[in-house]
């Protein structure tokens, strides 16, 4: 065969120069046969023979051999090492020209050749881009879209594949195709050719490719993609095929408009059916599909409109089904159920309805099952749901009397930052009531843990929430005992640091808590306030023009409260506060200006 091949290649060079079509055709048939028998070896020989440049001159529309030459290029470009040589041999421009041919076989082989050269090849894609190949292929898709004869469907499949290889994982080329309007065409293709498995598969892969790009979502939302995908999904029996549809649904469902379209097209019912079918299976692929279906369900609930549509005033069958997942023995369903409740709990009306209908007890039972060596994701999800449910004022007392704080405090020993974060958030939402704040604020174990977490520098969220909860315990309880517990646990320095936070809301919460400490237990906290350099920090906040009006106001209130302590009073005098404060008397904010006058008088009297 090797000798034969060498002879063929030599002969091909001569006949190509003479343009004798008959003998040329014989040589091309020999090459195709050799490629069928051993593609890689034959391709290496072709590359070594310098015949690639000859192919460029053979790619002419008038010749009867053109389709065979394109076929040979398609075959050799299956090898990675041949793609750049094909570009270097100048094959791209004549191939792109052939996309204007009226001959279906030429179009088919040309589409294959360009698609294979583009596969995973930056050079190939770049050359096709420069030659304007993508636009011609998109135009072909548009004009062939409605044709359902086998030859047209084969051509459509090849062109879809070519565009997929051309743009795969390349944002700028994907954006180019989107601007050419390829999305509505592909959606139309999917609708018309849903019986053709190969073409449907190509469309799905192309969608999966384009759907990752944010700019594509708007275009997808203006088509009936949701309806087509749900229709296709319902037809799929095999796991692999459903998986392909899932891979397109997930990125598309990140768009709120598409979420609603998917809900209206009946996707939720399909997902619930899958959950029901797979929940008791221990087959790996069924477990994976259960996870995908329940995750997608939770994603659909992230859209406000789609979520409200499915809540149906708490009477919706979907909401009821999701509720039944929480007591299930399947961890994935428990997780999805808790996350779904957290998503339903995104407005006061829903939260109040759910708390009145016993959801809190269900979530507490779920948490109870996960206290010892529990599933961290389930703990996190259940705490998220409780935190959201605790936002409406009317729910707080009900949740406190249901024993939520006790249930949540069981997780104080958790070493997992996501769980710590949600635990802190839930407690902070619940303690608006003085009694609850006082009870928690005197809980030494809790306060010590908060102080420890205030130093969790690797976990900014946990650190921030711990500081905010410490401050909230003081602000809501206004209790001397709570302040003493926090002082004894070493919490004062953290509240002082919190006053320098980059978030105004946190600065403010810290200053109000510190003012209460100064008013109620200045003697107890005096040493800690001094060593944390509170007075110097207040001076900085007042002198800084960027400080918000409420920060300036509360800093001055705090200065006045600190005057009852001898060492702190002395620090205030040493730092020449009068200069800074007197400037604030002309502040544009009236409250700040008034407080500056009062503070100035106080400082003048005390000096």
DSSP track, 389-413: HT-SHHHHHHHHHTTHHHHHHTTTT
Q: Which domains does the chain have, with CATH numbers?
A: 1-131 (1.25.10.10), 133-254 (1.25.10.10)
For the chain, which residues score pLDDT lower than 50?
A: 1
Burial class (CB in 10 A: 0-12, 13-18, 19+), 505: exposed
Q: In terms of Cα–Cα distance, which of 532, 453, 456 is closest to 487?
A: 532
In whole angstroms, what is the distance from residue 326 CA to residue 335 CA?
A: 8
Q: How far apart (Å, rounded) are the C-alpha atoms in residues 259 and 300? A: 5
Residue 17's pLDDT is 64
Q: Is 411 exposed, middle or buried (0-12, 13-18, 19+ CB in 10 A)?
A: buried
Contact 110, 132 (CB under 8 A): no
Residue 369 has what pLDDT?
94
Structure token digits, residue 100: 């204007």
Runs of H (alpha helix) within 504-548: 504-531, 534-543
Distance (Å, whole) CA 416 – CA 542: 39
What is the token pair recorded at 547?
């400080």
Helix (H, G, I), strand (E, B) or coil at 208: helix
DSSP 170: -
Structure tokens at 391: 């936002």
pTM of the model: 0.83
Residues shown for the chain: 607
Collapsing DSSP to helix, strand or coil, 52 comes out as helix
Q: How far is CA 104 from CA 28, 70, 109, 115, 165, in A?
A: 19, 12, 9, 16, 21
Cβ 181 vs Cβ 143: under 8 Å? no
User: Tell me, what DSSP letter sits at residue 575?
Assistant: T
367: left (phi over 0), alpha (psi -120 to 50) or beta: alpha
596 neighbors 558 (Cβ within 8 angstroms): no
Cα 412 to Cα 157, 384, 490, distances in angstroms: 58, 15, 18
Q: Using a CB cutoff of 8 Å and minimum separation of 24, what contacts does 394-399 make?
A: 394/352, 395/351, 395/352, 395/355, 396/429, 396/430, 396/432, 396/433, 396/436, 397/433, 398/355, 398/356, 398/360, 399/355, 399/360, 399/430
Quick one: which H or E segment has residue 477? helix 460-477
CB 441 within 8 A of CB 479: yes
Tell me how crowded residue 101 is: count the other CB atoms within 10 A of its CB: 15
C-alpha to C-alpha distances, 343 to 35, 301, 310, 351, 598, nearest whole angstrom: 57, 6, 11, 10, 48
Predicted pLDDT of residue 1: 44
């Amino acid at each position: 065969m090797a000798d034969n091949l060498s002879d063929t290649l030599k002969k091909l060079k001569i006949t190509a120069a003479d343009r004798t079509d008959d003998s040329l055709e014989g040589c091309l048939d020999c090459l195709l046969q050799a490629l069928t028998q051993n593609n890689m070896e034959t391709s290496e020989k072709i590359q070594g023979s310098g015949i690639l440049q000859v192919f460029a001159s053979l790619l002419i529309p008038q010749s009867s051999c053109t389709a065979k030459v394109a076929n040979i290029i398609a075959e050799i470009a299956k090898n990675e090492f041949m793609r750049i040589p094909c570009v270097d041999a100048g094959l791209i421009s004549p191939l792109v020209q052939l996309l204007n041919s009226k001959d279906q076989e030429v179009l088919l082989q040309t589409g294959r050749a360009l698609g294979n050269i583009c596969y995973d090849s930056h050079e190939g894609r770049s050359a096709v881009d420069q030659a304007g190949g993508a636009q011609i292929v998109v135009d072909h898709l548009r004009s062939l879209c409605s044709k359902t004869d086998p030859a047209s469907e084969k051509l459509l499949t090849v062109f879809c594949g070519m565009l997929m290889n051309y743009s795969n994982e390349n944002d700028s080329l994907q954006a180019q195709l989107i601007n050419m309007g390829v999305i509505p065409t592909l959606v139309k293709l999917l609708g018309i050719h849903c019986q053709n498995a190969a073409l449907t598969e190509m469309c799905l892969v192309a969608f999966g490719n384009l759907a990752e790009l944010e700019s594509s979502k708007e275009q997808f939302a203006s088509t009936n993609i949701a309806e087509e995908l749900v229709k296709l999904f319902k037809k799929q029996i095999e796991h692999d095929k459903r998986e392909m549809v899932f891979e397109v649904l997930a990125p598309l469902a990140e768009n709120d408009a598409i979420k609603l379209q998917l809900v209206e097209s009946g996707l939720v019912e399909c997902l619930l059916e899958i959950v029901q079918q797979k929940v008791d299976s221990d087959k790996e692929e069924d477990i994976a599909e259960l996870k995908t279906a329940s995750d997608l369900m939770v994603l659909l609930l992230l859209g406000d409109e789609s979520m409200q549509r499915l809540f149906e005033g708490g009477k919706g069958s979907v909401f009821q089904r999701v509720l039944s997942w929480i007591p299930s023995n399947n961890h994935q369903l428990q997780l999805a159920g808790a996350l779904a409740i957290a998503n339903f709990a995104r407005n006061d009306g829903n939260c109040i309805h759910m708390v009145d209908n016993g959801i809190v007890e269900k979530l507490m039972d779920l948490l109870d099952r996960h206290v010892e060596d529990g599933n961290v994701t389930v703990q996190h999800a259940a705490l998220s749901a409780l935190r959201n449910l605790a936002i409406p004022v009317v729910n707080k007392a009900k949740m406190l009397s249901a024993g939520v704080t006790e249930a949540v405090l069981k997780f104080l020993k958790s070493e997992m930052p996501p769980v710590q974060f949600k635990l802190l958030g839930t407690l902070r939402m619940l303690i608006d009531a003085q009694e609850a704040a006082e009870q928690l604020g005197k809980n030494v174990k809790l306060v010590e843990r908060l102080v420890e977490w205030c130093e969790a520098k690797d976990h900014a969220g946990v650190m921030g929430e711990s500081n905010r909860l410490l401050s909230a315990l003081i602000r809501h309880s206004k209790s001397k005992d709570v302040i003493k517990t926090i002082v004894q646990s070493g919490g004062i320095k953290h509240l002082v640091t919190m006053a320098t936070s980059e978030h105004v809301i946190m600065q403010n919460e810290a200053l109000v808590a510190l003012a209460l400490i100064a008013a109620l237990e200045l003697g107890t906290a005096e040493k800690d306030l001094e060593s944390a350099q509170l007075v110097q920090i207040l001076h900085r906040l007042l002198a800084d023009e960027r400080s918000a009006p409420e920060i300036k106001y509360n800093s001055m209130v705090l200065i006045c409260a600190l005057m009852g302590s001898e060492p702190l009073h002395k620090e205030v005098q040493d730092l020449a506060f009068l200069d800074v404060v007197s400037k604030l008397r002309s502040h544009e904010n009236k409250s700040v200006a008034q407080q500056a006058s009062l503070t100035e008088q106080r400082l003048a009297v005390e000096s």
